[in-house]
């Protein structure tokens, strides 16, 4: 059975990705950190819909990327599961200009958004030997807008890692990314935030979680593509 490991899958975009793969016959390993209750509810919901699968939940805190990666892959060994796809979706998104970025803030953004995906990618390659990785970036990787400086830098480094690993790990492992524009409002913001962002994009069209999942699905299923970044952002990366 095809198996995917999705980080940050208890809620929001990660949860939508879990549904997308589950509906297409895949076993989904649901990673979470604090949202264990949501992850367990998602797992139960999917098990009720698709009784041939388990939808296991694995919790790990990415503030310690090495321990988190070790814990996830030890658990996979115990479960005797070897995913053929890894989707790095978990992230933290905190505001702050460069001038206001403390070392603690920088460390947190880098640990969760870059170092943990990197350690998981390495463990995936070592343990699973072949397959496909999709990193979820952000359309901000093309811009120097520094309102979320540490977050944007962490995603820029993850973009370069995507390309470097795509080259080094071919032909066994393909490594690609999807860079979304605004899909869901961040905590504390409402639909007005999304409307304003969408109005500033060339296509003036909202990106739904389903649009994003379609792009991920395409990368997973097209075996000729590696080191590629799909901007799923209404053209926002092109600038104004
Ligand atoms: N939302 C958007 O419109 C948008 C736009 C551009 C790019 N993106 C990218 O798309 C992806 C998904 O976006 P999203 O809005 O769904 O993300 P999100 O809600 O901000 O975060 C997804 C998950 O990341 C997990 N996470 C946070 N800190 C963690 C830690 N220390 N250890 C392990 N997991 C941790 C959380 O899991 P728990 O809840 O279990 O703690 C959370 O549910 C992200 O990579 C984001 O950068 C999103």
Residue 115 Cβ < 6 Å to ligand 1: no
Residue 32 Cβ < 6 Å to ligand 1: yes
Residue 135 Cβ < 6 Å to ligand 1: no
**Cβ-Cβ contacts under 8 Å for 14 (sequence gap 6 or more):** 6, 7, 8, 87, 89, 90
At residue 210 the predicted structure's pLDDT band, cuts being 50, 70 and 90, is very high
Residue 99's pLDDT is what?
A: 98
Residue 11's pLDDT is what?
A: 97
Residue 180 Cβ < 6 Å to ligand 1: yes
Protein residue with least CA distance to atom 45, ligand 1: 89
Lowest mean pLDDT among 29-33, 189-193, 199-203, 233-237: 189-193
Residue 59 pairs in a beta bridge with: 32
CA–CA separation, 28 and 17 (whole Å): 9
Q: What is the overall mean pLDDT for the chain?
A: 97
pLDDT > 70 fraction of the chain, expressed in percent and rounded = 100
pLDDT at residue 157 greater than cutoff 80: yes
Taking the centre of ligand 1 as the mean of its atom positions, its distance from the CA of residue 217, in whole angstroms, is 19
Strand order in the sheet with 57-59: 57-59, 27-32, 3-6, 85-88, 131-136, 173-180, 229-232
CA–CA separation, 144 and 19 (whole Å): 34
Tokens (6 digits) for 62: 């990415």
Question: Which residue ranges form the domains of the chain, and what is each CATH number?
Answer: 3-232 (3.40.50.720)
Residue 112 Cβ < 6 Å to ligand 1: yes
Residue 187's pLDDT is what?
A: 84
pLDDT at residue 189 greater than cutoff 80: yes
Lowest mean pLDDT among 61-65, 124-128, 154-158, 187-191: 187-191
pLDDT in tens, 117-131: 999 999 999 999 999
Residue 127's pLDDT is what?
A: 97
Question: What number is the average pLDDT over the span 211-217?
Answer: 98
3-state SS record for the chain: CCEEEECCCCCHHHHHHHHHHHHCCCEEEEEECCCHHHHHHHHHHHHHHCCCCCCCEEECCCCCHHHHHHHHHHHHHHHCCCCCEEEECCCCCCCECHHHCCHHHHHHHHHHHHHHHHHHHHHHHHHHCCEEEEEECCHHHHCCCCCEHHHHHHHHHHHHHHHHHHHHCCCCEEEEEEEECCCCCCCCCCHHHHHHHHHCCCCCCCCCHHHHHHHHHHHHHCCCCCCCEEEECCCHHHCC
CB contact burial 18-38 (16+ within 10 A = b; e otherwise) = bbbbbeeebbbbbbbbebeeb
pLDDT in tens, 75-132: 999 999 999 999 999 999 999 999 999 999 999 999 999 999 999 999 999 999 999 9
Taking the centre of ligand 1 as the mean of its atom positions, its distance from the CA of residue 167, in whole angstroms, is 27
Give whole-number Cα distances, 45 to 125, 187, 190, in Å: 30, 25, 27
Residue 240's pLDDT is what?
A: 61
CA–CA separation, 29 and 237 (whole Å): 31
pLDDT at residue 30 greater than cutoff 90: yes
Tokens (6 digits) for 66: 């090495």
């Amino acid at each position: 059975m095809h198996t995917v490991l999705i980080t940050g899958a208890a809620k929001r975009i990660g949860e939508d990705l879990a549904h997308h793969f589950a509906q297409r016959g895949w076993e989904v390993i649901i990673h979470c950190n604090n949202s264990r209750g949501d992850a367990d509810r998602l797992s139960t919901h999917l098990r009720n819909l698709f009784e041939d699968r388990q939808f296991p939940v694995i919790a790990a805190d990415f503030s310690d990327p090495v321990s988190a990666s070790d814990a996830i892959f030890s658990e996979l060994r115990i479960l005797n599961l070897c995913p053929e796809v890894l989707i790095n979706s978990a992230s933290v998104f905190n505001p702050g200009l460069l001038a206001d970025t403390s070392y603690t803030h920088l460390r947190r953004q880098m640990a969760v958004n870059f170092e943990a995906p990197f350690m998981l990618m390495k463990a995936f390659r070592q343990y699973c030997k072949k397959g496909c990785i999709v990193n979820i970036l952000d359309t901000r990787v093309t811009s120097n807008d520094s309102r979320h400086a540490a977050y944007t830098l962490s995603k820029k480094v993850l973009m370069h890692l995507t390309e470097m690993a795509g080259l080094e790990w071919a032909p066994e492992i393909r490594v690609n990314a999807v860079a979304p524009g605004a899909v869901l409002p961040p905590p504390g913001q409402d639909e007005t935030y999304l409307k304003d962002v969408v109005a500033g994009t060339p296509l003036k069209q909202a990106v739904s979680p389903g649009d994003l999942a379609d792009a991920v699905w395409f990368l997973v299923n097209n075996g000729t593509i590696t080191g590629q970044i799909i901007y799923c952002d209404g053209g926002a990366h092109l600038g104004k």
